[in-house]
Structure 1
Amino acid sequence: MTDEHLDRMVRDADPHRPDVITHLDGAAQHLLEEIMSTPTLEPAAEPPAVRSRRRRTVLSGLVSASAAAAVLAVVFAVSIMNADSPAGPEASPQVGPTSEATTATSYSAMVLKAAEESPRLLIDQPGWKATTVYGFAEKEGTIAFRNGEVQLAMNWYPAGQYDGYHRDRLHVSEPEPVKVDGWPGDLFRYSASDFAVMLKPRDGSFVELRTGGALTRNEFDRVLADVVRVDARTWLAALPAEIVTPGRVDEQAAKILAGVPLPPGFDAAALGDLGVNDAYQFGAKVTSRVGCGWIAEWLRAKQAGDDAAAKRAVDALRSSHTWKVLHQMNDEGDWPEVFWETADEVVAGKRPAGYREALGCE
């Protein structure tokens, strides 16, 4: 399984999905602040194995590898109860020190309500590790798991979109009725080793589980048998911890902007409106504003015949090849290459075609 295949898997699960990058504000930001301010849970006895970082597309919605590692430290240290347990599928696990920390953690009513409105599905089977999480506190989101070369993505959407998605999947294959932890749904075959299960709407959303990698039908059935719906506190414990929330914007922005020349009128205080992002997305959005600002200044200076200002803009964009933040991001994704390619056009005296779309300029 290649990283590119993971991109395809998540994308194919919803070819009409809107951009997953969401600028949260108001109640949603407050909710995430509460989640991130919750006392840290006790770490697992064995830390998750170090994983190679996958290349990230420009301004993608996927969380960083470090955030995914934070998920693994909690989710798979917990033994999740099966649906036929006397306590029922919604009960919190009651074994081990990690589950004790989980049940002792205090969440606000707002946080718990958001969790209750999410599908809250996890895999209770050894070897599966969460690698992607995004879209919590919303009606759309994804949790993707990996076990060796095999992937399983759980994508959820508003219940009102179910009929349209289901009609689309009828072009894939005839549906086969299945159940996931008692939740009825339909299985569709993309190939002999590529499956999707669309669960019927529940609590305002529906879930589609999509495989990646070679799985036989029997192997997939065994995985489905161990997909369980958990209580809100267990699901909350699985959320990424390393996210740049509005309360951390000033600190993180200062690190990103160290040694970066700022364009005229750049307002660092306005970065608080970027919402909630993982470290990679935050770095991309901050440097986007810097780059867009310098290009706008260069265009203004060229039109006004202000050679000195135009040179300052060119020098600033040329210096982007030395910005520490872009070099730190370069091992993880393609944003720095896109930024440098656009900057180099200005340095060469060319108006960069499509720079607004490339850099996400407002």
Structure 2
Amino acid sequence: MVCETIFDQEQTAPTFVGSLEVPNVQEIVRDNSSRVPQIYIRDQYEMPKATDMAHLVTDIPVIDLSLLSNGNVEELKRLDQACAEWGFFQVINHGVPSEVLQNMKQNADGFFNLSLEEKNKFSMPPDDIQGYGHAYVVSKEQKLDWSDALMLVTMPPEFRNLQYWPTKPEGFKEIIDKYSKGLATVGEQLLGSISLNLGLERNTLIKEHKGLSQALRINYYPPCSRPDQVLGISPHSDTSSITILLQEDHLHGLQIHHNGEWIPVKPIPNALVINIGDVIEIWSNGKYKSIEHRAVTNESKARMSLAAFLFPNLDKEIEPFDCVVKSQGLLKNYKKVKYGDYLLNSMKRKMEGKTHTEMAKN
């Protein structure tokens, strides 16, 4: 997604130059379920075999947000360990009602099962990232991901461009609004606890955001007849502060890169998957690192995931906190960068691990 941020005096919401137009993967499968165009097939070195790490799946931390909210010291320690050693964890007792989660998934599924003509009414325009289409396609030569997406800026409300919010299924707009507000509350609670674990005041990271911005990416992964040769989403780390992901209850697809292995994240019904983004990595001077992750496909079933990215204002300057650096006894590993510039730099590139983070490193 090549992007340039544009502001004017009458507009508070940024717009962006969008991704190159590429084929709709869902339609490729509808037309011929055995066909996989060459542009999606990865070189073998890009497709390391996903090791069967089932014995490690249960080791991916599970955090009880209700305990964190009550200031439970042991749960804070577990969160610190999860952020430092994994960069990924699952959250239970997070306060978002299960019916909101299930309604969100059902409505998203309903949208992707509309006709292409109907979905294209909400297509990404050339000058924005919101809408239906594909992201991070910056070259006609790059390998494509086996997925389609719906991308919306959801928070703050004045940043929403409602012309790209689907009107079908009926009530989808309302459930997106309710869902995004619930995730904002979860995000604030997590940022408060992360602040404490970094030796900061509880509200420090929340203040750094000046109102939490949020973008939603709903990913749709059609089945693929050659799942061992394509990727649903390329390996990458997130440019967010934190990311909150809702998975399908019983379908695997998300994998994280941990100790040199690709480990599947087993879904826990009604749990939310949280991962540390690049912004927290910078603020923590690398104590907490954003972790490469990817999505794989399967041969027989379509799968969805709903990723909400929480991030600071585009004009916010980010760098390691002095008190965090001092407590580590280290030099600053990252230089000061303007978040909007950092985001722009990443969007000009295809997803390629953590190469985009070099911009912020000393």
Q: What is the TM-score of this pair, normalised by structure 2? A: 0.24
Higher helix fraction (1 or 2): 1
Higher strand fraction (1 or 2): 2
